Homo-oligomer: A and B are copies of this chain.
Amino acid sequence: MRAVTIKDVAQAAGVSKATASRVLSGHPATSPEARKAVGAAVEHLGFRPNAQARSLRKTRTQTIGLLLPDVRNPFFADLAHAVEQRARDFGYLTLFGNANESVEQQDRYIEVMLSQRVDGVIAAPQGDEENLANLLGSGVPVVFVDRVLDNTDVPSVSPDNVTGIQEAVRHLASQGHRRIGYIAGPQSSSTGRERLTAYREAIAGTGADDAEELIFFGDFQAASGAAGARTLLELADPPTALLAADSLMSIGAIAVCNQRGVAIGSGISFVGYDDIEAFTLLNPALTVIAHDVDAMGRIAVEMLTSVIAGGSPASRVLPSRLIVRGSTPEPSRGQHP
């Protein structure tokens, strides 16, 4: 069962390969008769062009690579979905690479994508420039998403890591909280660093307790969120409010609070990161720092197509905002401040 080729189509239509190809690619210099004959042959034979052969000849593959740390993280799943949908609009196929939170696997995927000759890459980078040297040195158009690397001039779309945290800290302080625990992300990522700085500045601005013991350093994974909650709850003078720097660490921390019978909303106030669907299930629902993941994915694709076309779009920072729900109630309503 050999696949049908354009040669078979040409033969069946009584024209040359060249003419068949022109008809199929919508070239204007084709006669109505040729169009009709080729169309009929394609239909009859069930011809499906070989994408490999096409992209070998053209230099474009109409494929972009999307390099993510982990699809199982709801934030990245949403991002993947948004990127894929928008890429489709531009006629691009998206090749997902799941680095599985490892720089080695990230490197392997970079190699694969370059071998596949993707037309461009959208990456949420892990590690530093060195880990991405292959990609950055390849000349392939790249756009960073969610995270940024210093010392590079790669265009990026990232969330505003300052405003959301600021609003959250002020919100908690205005409710009388003085000890606000913070489960930080890894300082190797721009996101982790910027959010921590924002937390420190906001704490200083409100005059709340700035003890270093209130900060736990996690790694954006659920387990580290759990570890953070344990550590902070066991302090001699434990925090009355918790703030976590990403969705998975929020999940881990909430699980620990539940296990220990520390009731969220009454026993402790909690602000999570990313407005994922599951957070609305909690009772009370979670106050979160939200940003528009769909927009982030869409814009990343648009920026990449611009880079592919030879442009050099400016990096963008998308707004974050605090969505107040039941997990950070007014002190008068049962919260011990």
Q: Could you list which residues of chain A lie within 8 angstroms of chain B, going by C-beta atoms? A: 1, 3, 48-53, 55-56, 61, 70-72, 74, 77-78, 80-81, 84-85, 93-96, 98, 100, 111-112, 114-117, 139, 222, 251, 254-255, 258, 263-264, 276-278, 280-283, 285
Contact = CB atoms under 8 A, between A and B. Distances in A.
B281 A283 contact: no
B71 A81 contact: yes
Contact of A74 (B72, B81, B96, B116): B72
Contacts of A70: 81
Contact of A80 (B1, B71, B258): B71
B84 A77 contact: no
A56 B48 contact: no
A74 B71 contact: no
A67 B264 CA distance: 39
Nearest to A263: B283
Contact of A258 (B116, B264, B281): B281
A258 B282 CA distance: 8
Contact of A281 (B78, B139, B282): B282
Given A51-B115, A222-B277, A258-B283, 9 more contacts: A50-B56, A52-B55, A52-B61, A53-B56, A70-B81, A72-B74, A264-B283, A281-B281, A283-B283
- The count of identical subunits is 2
A117 B52 contact: yes
B61 A72 contact: no
Contacts of A222: 277
A81 B53 CA distance: 30
What 7 A-B pairs are tightest by C-beta distance, nearest first? A278-B278, A51-B115, A52-B56, A258-B283, A96-B96, A52-B52, A254-B281
A100 B283 CA distance: 30
23 contacts: A48-B114, A50-B56, A51-B112, A51-B116, A52-B53, A52-B55, A52-B117, A71-B77, A71-B81, A72-B74, A72-B78, A72-B81, A74-B74, A74-B77, A80-B98, A81-B98, A81-B100, A85-B100, A93-B95, A251-B278, A255-B281, A258-B281, A258-B282
B117 A51 contact: yes
Given A56-B52, A112-B93, A77 B72 contact: yes
Contacts of A264: 283
